[in-house]
Chains A and B, each alone.
Chain A
Amino acid sequence: MLELIDASRHYDVAGRTVRALDGVNEPFPAGSITTVVGRSGCGKTTLLRLLAGLTEPSSGKAHHDPARSIGVVFQEARLMPWLDVAANAAFPLKGRLDRAEIAARVDEALTLVGLADARRALPRQLSGGMAQRVAIARALAQQPDVLLLDEPFSALDAFTRRSLQRVLIDVWRQRSPTVVLVTHDVEEAVLLGDSVIEMEAGRVVGRVPVDLPFPREATDPAVVDLRRRILGRLVGGADPFAL
């Protein structure tokens, strides 16, 4: 199981120690979909990087099963500028599967993100949102056991964001990978998570189970209520909607 055990990550910035992550204990059970929400700089990205194995904890442990494959969608698309859309989506698979299998997976993933017609385009010909969708397709084509996403939809317009949120839920329901999604959008956290982790100043300050069936609607009173409660805690106890 994916798990952080008393995990901390400190950085030295100009002689001062910055605690990006401070003693986090969280399990991420197999097949769960967890969203992590908090303000900018609260340590969400650091938490994800520890789970991805891209950053080592300064103390404590990030436990992952080495046999399980990991797919990551970063905040930026991070496409290889010399590869076209299809080759970018195929990048992690090249040399691991036979060509036909790679082509089939890439086709499927590009269709899911709505870019089936752009497969021959080069990254410099894509808008920021399209590039991000290629990055999402690249992670989906991997069909990973663990899917880690860092603000994957924040560069997208509202319509595309909504449809890709649905794609993510569909993929999760079909293949049940362990999903951890980091976002600063509380509504997105409630719409997508089977539990929401609240973070503040490098610490986990709350874990809220979300017992609502998928697909969820932003206008559902239960979603609205949960969103209001989480937001209220994260802005310091005050109800942001109270006048």
Chain B
Amino acid sequence: MPARRILTPATVFACVALIWWLAGRAGWTNAYLLPAPSTVIAALSDLVASGALLKHTLVSLQRVLLGFALSVALALPLAVLMSASRPARAVLDPLLEFIRQVPPLALIPLLILWLGIGETQKLGIIVLASFFPVFLGFRGGIAGVDPKLIEVGRIAGLTGRDILTRIVLPSALPELVVGLRISLGYSWRALVGAELIASSAGLGYMIIDAENLARTDIVLAGILVIGAIGLLSDLALRFALGRAFPWLSTDLEAARA
């Protein structure tokens, strides 16, 4: 099965590339608006050779990982607190629901005014974009714990704390995992969006800079790299989670960021 799991998507990508190449070859597309695959690959290898791609990718990756980690670090304790405490829910729920409705990219102008155009502003956008899926996933998971399993814990004489760590948290894990995967995807998208608007490095910046120089081949190369890294990071997260929690394998297939 693993061979087919790689083969099928590889074939799909190859077919798309073939159609793309044919379209250019047959003159259906404008070579400036949609450069041929070979041109894009050439641009990509130039970017690799000059080290520019590595530099921009590392900058973007570092921002994403930091922002994502910050989101998770905020979301997990807050989800536990709000699941456990009615007053915390009463106070924080309306606020968080309000913030959740505002698209993070719409806050960029405000974040630039408050946080400047440096790293803090980018982290702010990533956190805004990636906080809610982890937070809501974990809360949903906690709320969805089977009360019958909690009774098993009560019969065994577990303390409230033991019930939390030995029953509630493991029960909530499948939904948390879905939230983590969606969050990681959102972090990545929001970051590239942020880099398009105010930045001097990163993949989003690389793309917008190429657009200003009318280099559509670099724009396309950047898009390919962003998509590929998104896919790879999701795979890596699934792999790590599957290793750590083998019983989750079916849940891991369920979620798509």
**Which residues of A line the B interface, CB within 8 A?**
52-54, 69-72, 74, 76, 78, 80-82, 91-92, 94-95, 122, 124, 142
Whether B173 and A82, one on each chain, are in contact in the complex, defined by CB atoms closer than 8 angstroms, is yes
Residues of B within 8 A of A94 (CB): 166
Q: What is the CB-to-nearest-CB distance from B119 to chain A, in angstroms, rounded to a whole number?
A: 38
Residues of B within 8 A of A92 (CB): 152, 155-157
Q: Per-position contact with A for B163-178: 1 when CB-CB < 8 Å, else 0?
A: 0001100110100000
Whether A74 and B247, one on each chain, are in contact in the complex, defined by CB atoms closer than 8 angstroms, is no
Whether B170 and A80, one on each chain, are in contact in the complex, defined by CB atoms closer than 8 angstroms, is yes
Whether A78 and B152, one on each chain, are in contact in the complex, defined by CB atoms closer than 8 angstroms, is yes
Provide the bound-state CA to CA distance between A122 and B251, in Å. 15
Whether A80 and B148, one on each chain, are in contact in the complex, defined by CB atoms closer than 8 angstroms, is no
Whether B247 and A70, one on each chain, are in contact in the complex, defined by CB atoms closer than 8 angstroms, is no
- Name A92's closest neighbour in chain B (CB-CB): B156
Whether B247 and A122, one on each chain, are in contact in the complex, defined by CB atoms closer than 8 angstroms, is yes
Provide the bound-state CA to CA distance between A54 and B152, in Å. 10
- Cross-chain pairs A/B with CB under 8 angstroms, 7 sampled: A54-B154, A69-B157, A74-B152, A78-B149, A78-B151, A92-B157, A122-B246
Whether A81 and B148, one on each chain, are in contact in the complex, defined by CB atoms closer than 8 angstroms, is no
Provide the bound-state CA to CA distance between A91 and B166, in Å. 9
Provide the bound-state CA to CA distance between A69 and B146, in Å. 24
- Sorting the interface of chain B by its residue count into under 10, 10 to 19, 20 to 34 or 35 or more gives 20 to 34
Provide the bound-state CA to CA distance between A71 and B248, in Å. 29
Q: What is the CB-to-nearest-CB distance from A2 to chain B, in angstroms, rounded to a whole number?
A: 15
Whether B156 and A81, one on each chain, are in contact in the complex, defined by CB atoms closer than 8 angstroms, is no
Provide the bound-state CA to CA distance between A124 and B249, in Å. 12
Provide the bound-state CA to CA distance between A82 and B246, in Å. 8
- Name B146's closest neighbour in chain A (CB-CB): A78
Whether A74 and B156, one on each chain, are in contact in the complex, defined by CB atoms closer than 8 angstroms, is no
Provide the bound-state CA to CA distance between A155 and B133, in Å. 39
Q: What is the CB-to-nearest-CB distance from B216 to chain A, in angstroms, rounded to a whole number?
A: 49
Provide the bound-state CA to CA distance between A76 and B151, in Å. 12
Whether A80 and B155, one on each chain, are in contact in the complex, defined by CB atoms closer than 8 angstroms, is no
Q: Per-position contact with A for B245-257: 1 when CB-CB < 8 Å, else 0?
A: 1111010000000
Q: What is the CB-to-nearest-CB distance from B160 to chain A, in angstroms, rounded to a whole number?
A: 15
- Name B250's closest neighbour in chain A (CB-CB): A124
Whether B167 and A52, one on each chain, are in contact in the complex, defined by CB atoms closer than 8 angstroms, is no
Provide the bound-state CA to CA distance between A71 and B156, in Å. 7
Provide the bound-state CA to CA distance between A52 and B157, in Å. 11
Provide the bound-state CA to CA distance between A122 and B162, in Å. 22
Interfacial residues of chain B within 120-152, with CB under 8 A of chain A in the complex: 146, 148-149, 151-152
Provide the bound-state CA to CA distance between A52 and B246, in Å. 34
Provide the bound-state CA to CA distance between A72 and B153, in Å. 11
From B146, B148, B156, B173, give the contact of A91 (CB < 8 A).
Answer: B156
From A53, A69, A80, give the contact of B149 (CB < 8 A).
Answer: A80
Q: What is the CB-to-nearest-CB distance from B211 to chain A, in angstroms, rounded to a whole number?
A: 48
Provide the bound-state CA to CA distance between A94 and B83, in Å. 26
Whether A91 and B151, one on each chain, are in contact in the complex, defined by CB atoms closer than 8 angstroms, is no
Whether B155 and A76, one on each chain, are in contact in the complex, defined by CB atoms closer than 8 angstroms, is no
